[in-house]
């Protein structure tokens, strides 16, 4: 009996090292962790709480693969869901705690936003993967012409990275007005590349679009978990970049 | 010819089905969602996303895309925009004085005076230099420095001479242009009112200003006014101080992970996004020492928050995940209101609940209503349309409660008819996102809802129950849900009255207030002080002591956590001298008294007690 209990313990919990947030609330925790284990999915940087449209909480976590995320939530009547998604498909597992955590699964292909017919350019997860391999150390700076300090910050940031020798990739607020964005890049001497709009699951799920500007650091081909928001003078940008780079690999 | 007849036949069939749907829709379908009080259309909204209110009718903002920004104001009643001084992100004082604060060197500007001078053609940039009010001492310092800065013939010797004379001029060694007290310079300024007197003999306000400099710096100013309401004199009431010296490690450049700070109108709290935790926090601070403690961790990241007048509510946007989307995940900023007294969060979305828009940077009006920017974007044309929307939170039917720190206490059998109603509506009127179903049913038209249930429930109940039971609702049978229950679940109240869901207290553990306020708040997952599993009391009771005090030679070596916390709290009792090898717990706020300590220790020992 003790052996069985031990095996059960190892199989479901500590051997895999995954915990769900606010664990007591998840009645189907074992099943959820079992699925993650079967699919060899690891959690990076822990679970982060977010809100659904109706104000209810949802917990999300990035995995060991770029642009692969998962989220868990409880629905009305205690149904618990695990969703694993990437740019190609979304798999939803629904568990019913009242029926011994019996589950059903749905899987759908993900559709890409229709970019073809427009003059707009987009920065997708594919572009992100390419960026991480070609510029393994650098800065992603998400700006918006609708937040003036994000423009004022451009010169300060350029000044800050002179000594740090880090390339900057400017990305645009995906909802920015195109005409205004074009005139802004001329005023601030940014290249046309700065008109690429964020259409990346990875960056969106990291809350890159909650406030502009957003400064995201890349170190050794990986995205640092800390994101800095808002304008800073160059010396402060420099200090923050150094700090985030220094703590980038910490979990 | 044959094909033409076939086509016509099919068209008639399709048309009749469509007409039937239309009739069904008109009788049964249609929402009764509350509407915003005011919507200013997109062609009149030209400012930045982030705005602030001078008064209930005047929005202040920065003109977007400008080279240096430009203050503007928009009169919501006259529907007219006005130019002000030339800079970025104005912040009006929150006591109705019609003055605002400038970034850079802190100055107070008279709104109406600036409006008049700009209308007369005065240069906006020049007004920044000439029309601001600041303490005399600060102006002298700044002028001396500017004089030196503007001397084109100055060489290295002059620079050294000036540095030597800084003491003589009363200027601090690290003074840079625009500095006041060496620190009060910066962006993300916000203003609180510590005192406001508007009588004939006592006509002044004391304002506290917070800036983002050094990740949070504050200073108090006294502003005296003339009988006409003009600024007579500004004096410093304190030196500029950095926020949270108790959390700084010495390297003031980066040792606080604070972004987008904003002060509460009462000046005793401020909101920030904490880069370390990735969450938005409300920080309480001491106005004398600047010492800080976490008053509330939202647990998620929000955009820049806005406090109401007494600080009991905050409005914010957060990046929302729409889990119901079938083939894509939409991520949009959505507006929410958090009531700190009841720990409830309400979505600010009004109108059509199916609408896909962003709601950004909500801010309170003096009467508790909220203004935000609604943004729609056409991903094919690149055109954006925006509106300023004013909503009354008391009219939000989509009130779904969230208790902090317990996340999931909205489940209740009382909601069963609402779920079934949503399914019936979905079957009859069009697809309803399961996660939004309660929002839908709460926003149904009362009469149409009655019609829908009366006409359709008997026909559809089998399929609905089968569908619900297949997915997640094994308890539902014809015995547990019936037509009368659905009819009673239809909204009966007029739009504008709040309908709330009944929380089920048995679902989640509730903490006693003392545990929530003095323990959990500092030890949530990802908290800087480390996670302690108060949400898993059984684990709490069996875990070992941890931290420096449990190491070899420490006072709690080889003890359990229960023994450790008992020892730590007993040593921390108010009035006792704390031994140097025992940590100060709680780290912030007043020390615990005997009764409070006993309550915490008892709870930790018993663990699973649920407070009804």
ipTM for this prediction: 0.89
Residue in B315, B317, B319 to test binding to A, most A beta-carbons within 10 Å: B319
In a domain, B202, yes or no: yes
The architecture of the domain spanning A122-246 is 3-Layer(aba) Sandwich (3.40)
Last residue of a domain, one of B248, B270, B297: B297
pLDDT at B141: 76
Same domain, B256 and B390: no
Instruction: Report CA-CA distances (Å) from B482 to B270, B419, B477.
Output: 50, 13, 9
Task: Please check whether residue B70 lies inside any domain of the structure.
Answer: no
Residue B111 lies in a domain: yes
Number of structural domains (chain B) is 4
Segment B546-556 shows an average pLDDT of 83
Domain housing B561: 513-606
Within a domain: B272: yes
For an interface test with A, the pick among B61, B256, B259, B281 (most A C-beta atoms closer than 10 Å) comes out as B259
Q: Where do we find the tokens 């709104």?
A: B111
pLDDT for residue B314 is more than 70: yes
Based on the fold, state whether residues B235 and B89 are members of the same structural domain.
Answer: yes
Asked if the Cβ–Cβ distance from B334 to A51 is below 8 Å, we say: yes
**Same-domain status, B280 and B310:** no
Tell me the shortest Cα–Cα distance from A22 to chain B, in angstroms: 6
pTM: 0.76
B482, B577: one domain: no
Averaged pLDDT score across all residues of chain B:
77
Closest A-chain CA to B360: A210
Please tell me which of the candidates A83, A152, A230 has its beta carbon nearest to residue B259. A230
* Same-domain status, B116 and B218: yes
> Per-residue pLDDT tens for B70-79?
788 988 888 8
**B77 belongs to a structural domain:** no
pLDDT at A11: 36
Domain boundaries, chain A: 20-109, 122-246
Tell which of B360, B395, B430 closes a domain: B395
Ranked by mean pLDDT, the top range of B256-260, B395-399, B521-525 is: B256-260
B184-194 mean pLDDT: 89
pLDDT at A13: 40
Between residues B245 and A118, the one the model is more confident about: B245
- If asked whether residues B129 and B242 sit together in one domain, one would say yes
Task: Tell me the three-class secondary structure of chain A, residue by residue.
Answer: CHHHHHHHHHHHHHCCCCCCCCHHHCCCHHHHHHHHHHCCCCEEEEEEEEECCCCCEEEEEEECCCCCEEEEEECHHHCEEEEEECCCEEEEEEEEHHHCCEEEEEEEECCCCCCCCCCCCEECHHHHHHHHHHCCCEEEEEECCCCHHHHHHHHHHHHHHHHHCCCEEEEECCCCCHHHHHHHHHHCCCCHHHHCEECCHHHHHCCCCCCCCEEEEEECCEEEEEEEECCCCHHHHHHHHHHHHHCCCCC
Taking CA–CA distances from A109, the nearest residue in chain B reads: B327
A chain contacts of residue B315, beta-carbon cutoff 8 Å = none
The whole-number pLDDT of residue B517 equals 61
| pLDDT for position B9 | 33
Measured over the CA atoms of residue A178, residue B91, residue A157 and residue B246, the dihedral's sign is negative
Q: Mark whether B229 and B327 lie in a shared domain.
A: no
CB < 8 Å to A174, chain B: 377, 379
Domain boundary among the residues B280, B297, B314 is at: B297
pLDDT tens-place string over residues B260-294: 999 999 999 999 999 988 889 999 999 999 999 99
* Stretch B475-495: mean pLDDT: 74
Whether B23 maps to a domain, the answer reads no
Instruction: Report pLDDT digits (tens) over B403-446.
Output: 333 333 334 445 677 778 888 887 887 655 555 566 666 667 77
Residue A4 clears pLDDT 80, i.e. is over it: no
Residue B151 within a domain: no
* pLDDT tens-digit readout, A127-163: 999 999 999 999 999 999 999 899 999 999 999 999 8
Instruction: Kindly state whether residue B243 falls inside one of the protein's structural domains.
Output: yes
pLDDT of A87 higher than 70: yes
Residue B24: phi and psi, rounded to 5, are -60, -45
Judge if B270 and B366 occupy the same domain.
no
pLDDT, tens digit (0-9, with 9 covering 90-100), for B229-243: 999 999 999 888 889
């Amino acid at each position: 009996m003790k052996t069985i209990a031990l095996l059960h313990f190892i199989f479901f919990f500590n051997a895999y090292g995954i915990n769900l947030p606010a664990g007591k609330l998840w009645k189907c925790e074992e099943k959820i962790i079992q699925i993650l284990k079967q699919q060899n999915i690891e959690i990076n940087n822990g679970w982060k709480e977010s809100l659904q449209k109706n104000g209810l909480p949802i917990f999300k976590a990035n995995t060991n693969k770029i642009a692969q995320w998962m989220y868990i939530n409880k629905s009305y009547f205690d149904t618990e869901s695990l969703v694993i998604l990437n740019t190609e498909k979304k798999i939803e597992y629904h568990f019913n705690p009242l029926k011994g955590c019996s589950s059903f699964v749905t899987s759908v292909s993900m559709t890409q936003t229709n970019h073809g017919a427009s003059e707009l350019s987009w920065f997708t997860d594919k572009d992100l993967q390419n960026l991480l391999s070609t510029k393994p150390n650098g800065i992603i700076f998400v700006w918006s012409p609708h937040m003036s300090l994000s423009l004022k910050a451009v010169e300060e940031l350029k000044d800050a990275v002179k000594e740090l020798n880090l390339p900057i990739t400017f990305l645009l607020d995906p909802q920015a007005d195109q005409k205004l964005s074009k005139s802004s890049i001329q005023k601030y001497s940014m290249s046309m590349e700065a008109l690429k709009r964020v259409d990346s699951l990875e960056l969106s799920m990291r809350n890159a679009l909650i406030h502009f500007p957003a400064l995201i650091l890349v170190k050794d081909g990986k995205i640092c978990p800390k994101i800095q928001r808002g304008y800073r003078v160059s010396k402060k940008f420099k200090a923050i970049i150094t700090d985030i780079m220094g703590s980038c690999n910490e979990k | 010819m044959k094909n033409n007849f076939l086509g016509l036949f099919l068209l008639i069939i399709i048309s009749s089905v469509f007409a039937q749907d239309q009739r069904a829709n008109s009788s049964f379908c249609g929402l009764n969602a509350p509407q915003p009080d005011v919507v200013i259309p997109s062609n009149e909204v030209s400012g930045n996303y982030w705005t602030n209110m001078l008064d209930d009718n005047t929005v202040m903002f920065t003109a977007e895309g400008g080279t240096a920004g430009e203050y503007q104001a928009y009169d919501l009643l006259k529907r007219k925009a006005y130019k002000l001084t030339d800079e970025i992100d104005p912040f009006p004082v929150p006591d109705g004085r019609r003055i605002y604060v400038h970034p850079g060197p802190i100055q107070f500007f008279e709104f109406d005076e600036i409006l008049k001078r700009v209308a007369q053609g005065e240069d906006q940039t020049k007004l920044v230099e000439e029309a601001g009010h600041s303490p005399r001492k600060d102006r002298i310092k700044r002028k001396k420095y500017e004089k030196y800065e503007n001397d084109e013939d100055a060489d290295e010797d002059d620079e050294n001479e000036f540095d030597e004379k800084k003491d003589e001029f009363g200027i601090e060694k690290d003074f840079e242009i625009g500095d006041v007290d060496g620190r009060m310079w910066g962006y993300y300024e916000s203003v609180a009112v510590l005192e406001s007197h508007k009588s004939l003999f006592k006509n002044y306000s004391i304002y506290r200003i917070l800036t983002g400099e050094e990740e949070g710096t504050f200073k108090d100013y006294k502003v005296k006014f003339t009988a006409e309401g003009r600024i007579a004199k500004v004096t410093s009431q304190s030196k500029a101080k950095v926020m949270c010296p108790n959390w700084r490690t010495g390297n003031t450049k980066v040792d606080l992970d604070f972004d987008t700070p904003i002060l509460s109108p009462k000046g005793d709290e401020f909101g920030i996004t904490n880069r370390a935790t990735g969450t938005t926090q409300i920080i309480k601070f001491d106005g004398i020492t600047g010492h800080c403690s976490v008053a509330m961790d939202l647990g998620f990241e929000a955009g820049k928050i806005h406090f109401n007048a007494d600080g009991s509510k905050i409005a914010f946007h957060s990046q929302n995940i729409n889990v119901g989307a079938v083939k894509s995940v939409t991520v949009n900023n959505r507006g929410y209101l958090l009531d700190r007294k009841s720990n409830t969060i309400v979505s600010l979305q009004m109108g059509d609940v199916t609408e896909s828009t962003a709601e950004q940077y909500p801010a309170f009006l003096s009467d508790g209503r909220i203004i935000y920017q609604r943004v729609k974007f056409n991903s094919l044309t690149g055109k954006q349309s925006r509106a300023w929307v004013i909503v009354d939170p008391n009219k939000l039917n989509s009130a779904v409660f969230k208790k902090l720190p317990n996340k999931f206490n909205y489940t209740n059998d009382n909601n069963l008819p609402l779920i079934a109603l949503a399914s019936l509506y979905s079957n009859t009127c069009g697809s309803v996102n399961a996660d939004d179903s309660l929002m839908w049913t709460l926003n149904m038209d009362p009469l149409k809802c009655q019609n829908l249930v009366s006409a359709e429930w008997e026909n559809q109940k089998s399929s609905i129950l089968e569908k619900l039971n297949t997915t997640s609702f094994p308890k539902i049978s014809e015995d547990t849900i019936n037509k009368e229950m659905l009819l009673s679940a239809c909204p009966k109240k007029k739009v504008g009255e709040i309908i709330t869901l009944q929380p089920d207290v048995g679902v989640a553990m509730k903490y006693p207030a003392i545990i929530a306020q003095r323990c959990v708040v500092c030890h949530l997952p990802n908290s800087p002080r480390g996670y302690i599993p108060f949400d898993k009391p059984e684990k709490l009771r069996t875990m070992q002591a941890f931290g420096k005090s449990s190491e070899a030679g420490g006072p709690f070596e080889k003890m359990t956590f229960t023994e450790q916390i008992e020892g730590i709290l007993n040593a921390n009792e108010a009035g006792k001298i704390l031994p140097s090898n025992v940590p100060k717990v709680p780290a912030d706020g007043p020390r615990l008294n005997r009764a409070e300590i006993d309550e915490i220790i008892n709870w930790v020992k018993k663990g699973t007690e649920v407070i009804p």
